[in-house]
Amino acid sequence: MSVPLLSLIVLLPAAGAVVLMFLRSEDAVRWTALGITGLDLALSIVMLVGFDTTTHEMQFTERRPWVPALGITYALGVDGISALFVFLTALLGSTSVLASWTAIESKVKEFMISLLVMQALMLGVFCALDLFLFYVFWEAMLIPMYLIIGVWGGDGRVYAAFKFFLYTLAGSLLFLIGVIVLYFQGGETFDILALTAQDLPFPVQSWLFFAFLIAFAVKVPMVPVHTWLPDAHVQAPTAGSIILAGVLLKMGAYGFLRFSLPMLPEASVYFSTLMLMLSALAIVYGGLLALAQDDLKKLVAYSSISHMGFVTLGIFALNLRGLQGSILQMFNHGVTTGALFLFVGLIYERTHSRSIADYGGLMKVAPVYTSFLALFTLSSMALPGTNSFVGELLVLSGGFAANLALGAAAVLGALLSAAYLLGMYRRVALGPATVGARYKIRDVNAREMVAILPLALFVLWVGLYPKPFLEIIDASVKHLLVQVHGKEGSQ
Amino acid sequence: MDPVTSIRPLLAIAVAGLAALTILLLHNREKLRDLVSPVAAIVMFAIVASMAPTVLSGGTVDLRLFEILPGVDFAFRADALGMVFATVSSLLWIVAAVYSIGYMRHLHEHAQTRFFACFATSLAAAVGGAFAANLFTLVIFYEVLSLVTYPLVYHHEDEEGWSGSRKYLVYLMGASKSALLAALALTYQIAGSLDFVAGGLLADVDASAALLTVVYFCYLFGFAKAAVMPMHAWLPAAMVAPTPVSALLHAVAVVKMGVFCVLRVVFDVFGVGLVGKLGLGIATAYLVSFTILMASIYALTRDDLKARLAYSTVSQLSYIVLGAVLLSPVAMIGGIIHIAAHAFSKITLFFCAGSIYCASGKRNISDMAGIGRRLPWTMGAFFVASLSMIGIPPTAGFVSKWYLAQGSVEAGQVAFLAVLLTSSILNAAYFLPVSYAAFFEAEPEESRAAVHEIPMVTIPLVATAILSVLMGIFPGYFLTLADGVVR
């Protein structure tokens, strides 16, 4: 491949951020940001179209020496798992710009620059094949995200941003220690593929597993290190929430898939029951917390904890359906929860309230808004026919195979999700129209529709015809299973 | 006979779906909008009927669209069991569409566009379920049916409507997001597929009896629309809906979807052999016998006519399940044709309840003394349908109960014969007093004025009463289909 496609995808938003610095008018800033993210999305589609689904090998690889003395290279590449997330990140990038069009009123230029830098770094994380490069992207993400929450957030933004920063940094430090241990144990290389091929002794694997666990569990987040998430979500501007839920949470799970499972297979198998238990705990506990919320954003935030529990459950079921389901579910969660945060943002812009108790009868005043809200609510509760149901069915199927009792606990979480989501929808959209009296609510406009429609498309597409998505990840998932179980146990 | 590949199963669903869209588009042209439902119903029935010859001669009409997951397609198949359900639903939609217009106009109901659009979508979902070729496709339509009937239940948007519809959704969604979801995931895990297989998808799998038993009961209670106790309480709660909804949806489409799913599980997922081997048939038979008797006793105590009919439905649905789980061919035939027999008669009874309400505003049986003199057609039809529910010849209910009774003897389970007989006595005890009071008790002075039949409401209910008798005399169509299922 002569065109360095991945570099283009990763660096385009960064270059766009530089261009934005020289723009004066706010409208020019907005349109340029939209153009850049749109182009980036188009490039990621080009990447997916050219993606060879028959192999687990890294594709579109690029390697340039960076710090040869330490074995650090600028190495990019994608397999089926990361390809899907590159696309998801690009998709939510343009959604975020559209969601911030009028919601961000001050320092528009600076905000859009932060968004674009953030996007470049997130794409870098998914494309990096060099551990050092990965770590740079991973850590650097903290800065724009800190700014997005801390500068453009709500009233408690400083506290929330700081909490987010501290939690993630604490996790990252352990990750750094793990990286250094890996570097020396693995023959002084940062090449992720070479490190994956290493056969580390079990005690080393175990220590590394826990170092990585804490780092990734904070990101996912798993109970009990989840408490930063509701604060961050509630305070973050809509675009921040979309990125946070849509992409950042996936990075923890991606870490498990890229590092823990292939590099530490024996430890992963050994600790899998523990991980399944933590996952089931997150599913049920997150669901119970969501049930008790009156704040729309908190409700969606806690539901994310529950839904990400399904993701980790699928991963540590360590079988084909579990892995397929959890990766698909990550994509689904990005689309659906991203959309739900977008919808909370849309209504907040109109009424400046996120309290469910303030709403009622929205169906009467904003029928288009509430119809799409219904679609995404049903998707989030995994109604058959929507994207999440396919993922949930696969995860549960794999989960039952791994551990019947914990699979049953996960079903309880699914039941809870129906309870809090349908309850939320009923109180917000149905009943007598109470909001219309106090606020003049306008239904969605064309710009908002442009943000909503692609997400709605994926809800139904993955729900009814998930085959193309499963094909993209298929070879990589099967290879991952071989790495974990050896050739024989690759069921 | 080779399966015929045709787009007709999908077409039947699409007609009702398109009708719903058309209704929404015509929201400010009432007359035209109201015409859509009957026309769509006739077209749908014609499409369903066009597949009857193939299915009656032992064939199926198949349509495979695409693969959803390995071993799971988005696919349709019109087979004998599906045709029973589809014929009943589409035929009765024609009658119910006319009835609804009369009812809604007479009472000047609000939100009629939403009502008719949801109604049409419900029919699309019911027929979609009837023609689904696997559990995945079936469950999609099953859930759509739960959701689109929800606005029909809260239609009045009053306190009663909100609490009733809440209970409705909590039961149906709660059951499907817990028991049904677990059953599906386990089935997919065990069998690697969700297809309906003649003789049973799970018939030859390598799984423990305990696990299969759990899966079985997860299905039985997960399909809460079948209203097997204790999953029945949503049905009386759903009676807050306008009566046409109670009639077509909560006596035919929704509840029959529930028992239809249970029959699919017994016949095509577990298979009669496995259900028998695990001893689940008899266990289920006792469970549904309890439902049959308990629900009848509840019905006895209800003075609100629709509530009495609702509990009667709970009881009658369990007849259908009982027929299937007795596992003898004759009993199974009885259960299957009871889908049709109960549909024709119960829709008539609900239509009558609606007619009485339209004409007089009365809902309680104790207020209906002498009303037969004002509403002779309505109460005449009510009487005919009551006979069918009790099982007196020459009505439809007689035929199905005859097969059920004979089947329980054939299965060597005479205990269930006693259940059927006791239940019939209870049926008589809660239906006949209504007719007696209507025709023979003295009418109170004040209620005489201005109570008269409303043609657009009365004609459909007379038609369904005639259907109840016709099926009693000519049960051949449904018997042939049921025979096709059992063979």
Residues 245-264 of A with CB under 8 A from B: none
Residue of B nearest to A413 (CA): B178
The alpha carbon of residue B386 is apart from the nearest alpha carbon of chain A, in Å, by: 38
Is B287's pLDDT higher than 90? yes
The answer as to whether B466 is a domain residue is yes
pLDDT tens for B187-217 read 999 998 999 988 889 988 888 899 999 999 9
Pair of tokens at residue B139? 């469950």
A23-27, B265-269, B318-322, B464-468: least confidently modelled range: A23-27
Q: Choose the most confident range, by mean pLDDT, from A199-208, A427-436, B218-227.
A: B218-227
* Chain B neighbors of A422, CB-CB under 8 A: 169, 173
Bridge-based pairing of strands B61-69 and B4-5 is parallel
Q: Which residues pair with B78 in a beta bridge?
A: B61
Q: What percent of chain B has pLDDT over 90?
A: 58
A440-444, B394-398, B463-467: least confidently modelled range: A440-444
ipTM: 0.89
The answer as to whether B403 is a domain residue is yes
Is B71's pLDDT higher than 80? yes
From chain B, which residues contact A within 8 Å (Cβ)? 66-69, 74, 136, 139-140, 142-144, 147, 154, 157, 162, 166, 169-170, 173-174, 177-178, 181-182, 184-186, 188-189, 211
The alpha carbon of residue A286 is apart from the nearest alpha carbon of chain B, in Å, by: 17
pLDDT tens for A470-491 read 999 999 999 999 888 875 444 4
> If residue B286 lies in a helix (H) or strand (E), which one and from where to where?
helix B280-301
pLDDT of amino acid A490? 41
Contact B181 A419 (CB under 8 A): no
A385-389, B150-154, B396-400, B443-447: least confidently modelled range: B443-447
Q: Rounded to the nearest 5 degrees, what angle is found at the Cα of A207, between the Cα atoms of A206 and A212? A: 95
Bridge-based pairing of strands A72-78 and B4-5 is unpaired
Q: Given pLDDT bands bounded at 50, 70 and 90, which one contains residue A380?
A: very high
pLDDT of amino acid A487? 57
Mean pLDDT for all residues in chain B: 90
> If residue B408 lies in a helix (H) or strand (E), which one and from where to where?
helix B396-410
Any idea where the domains of chain A sit in the sequence?
Answer: 271-491
Residue-range definition of the domain harbouring residue B394: 328-487
Is A437's pLDDT higher than 80? no
Q: Given pLDDT bands bounded at 50, 70 and 90, which one contains residue A438?
A: low
pLDDT of amino acid A489? 45
Q: Given pLDDT bands bounded at 50, 70 and 90, which one contains residue B452?
A: confident
The number of folded domains in chain B is: 1
The answer as to whether B459 is a domain residue is yes
Q: What is the DSSP string of A251-317?
A: HHHHHIIIIIHHHSHHHHHHTHHHHHHHHHHHHHHHHHHHHT--BHHHHHHHHHHHHHHHHHHHHHH
Is B144's pLDDT higher than 90? yes
Is A458's pLDDT higher than 90? yes
| A415 and B CB contact within 8 Å | yes
Mean pLDDT for all residues in chain A: 89
Could you count the other beta carbons within 10 Å of the beta carbon of residue B477? Answer: 16
Is A368's pLDDT higher than 70? yes
Q: Which residue has the higher pLDDT, A434 or B424?
A: B424
* Chain B neighbors of A432, CB-CB under 8 A: 157
| A464 and B CB contact within 8 Å | yes
pLDDT of amino acid B33? 86
Q: Is the pTM of this model over 0.80?
A: yes
Give every CB contact of residue A28 below 8 A, 6+ residues apart in sequence.
none
The residue-averaged pLDDT of A376-381 equals 94
pLDDT of amino acid A322? 93
Give every CB contact of residue B477 below 8 A, 6+ residues apart in sequence.
B52, B56, B87
pLDDT of amino acid B205? 87
* Chain A neighbors of B193, CB-CB under 8 A: none
Query: B272: number of CA atoms within 13 Å, CB side?
Result: 15
pLDDT of amino acid B399? 92
> If residue A61 lies in a helix (H) or strand (E), which one and from where to where?
strand A59-67
Is B476's pLDDT higher than 90? no
Q: Which residues pair with B66 in a beta bridge?
A: B74
pLDDT of amino acid B216? 94
The answer as to whether B194 is a domain residue is no
Bridge-based pairing of strands A72-78 and A59-67 is antiparallel
Could you count the other beta carbons within 10 Å of the beta carbon of residue B410? Answer: 15
pLDDT tens for B259-283 read 999 999 999 999 998 998 999 999 9
Q: Is B449 exposed, middle or buried (0-12, 13-18, 19+ CB in 10 A)?
A: exposed
| A423 and B CB contact within 8 Å | no
3-state secondary structure of A64: strand
pLDDT tens for B356-365 read 988 888 888 8
Q: Given pLDDT bands bounded at 50, 70 and 90, which one contains residue A35?
A: very high
A-B interface: how many C-beta pairs under 8 angstroms? 78
Is B1's pLDDT higher than 70? no
The residue-averaged pLDDT of B455-467 equals 90
The answer as to whether B30 is a domain residue is no
The answer as to whether B436 is a domain residue is yes
Q: Given pLDDT bands bounded at 50, 70 and 90, which one contains residue A436?
A: low
pLDDT tens for A256-267 read 999 999 999 999
* Chain A neighbors of B139, CB-CB under 8 A: 384
pLDDT of amino acid A415? 93
Say which of B169, B173, B182 has its CB closest to residue A411.
B182
The alpha carbon of residue B180 is apart from the nearest alpha carbon of chain A, in Å, by: 10
Q: Given pLDDT bands bounded at 50, 70 and 90, which one contains residue B371?
A: confident
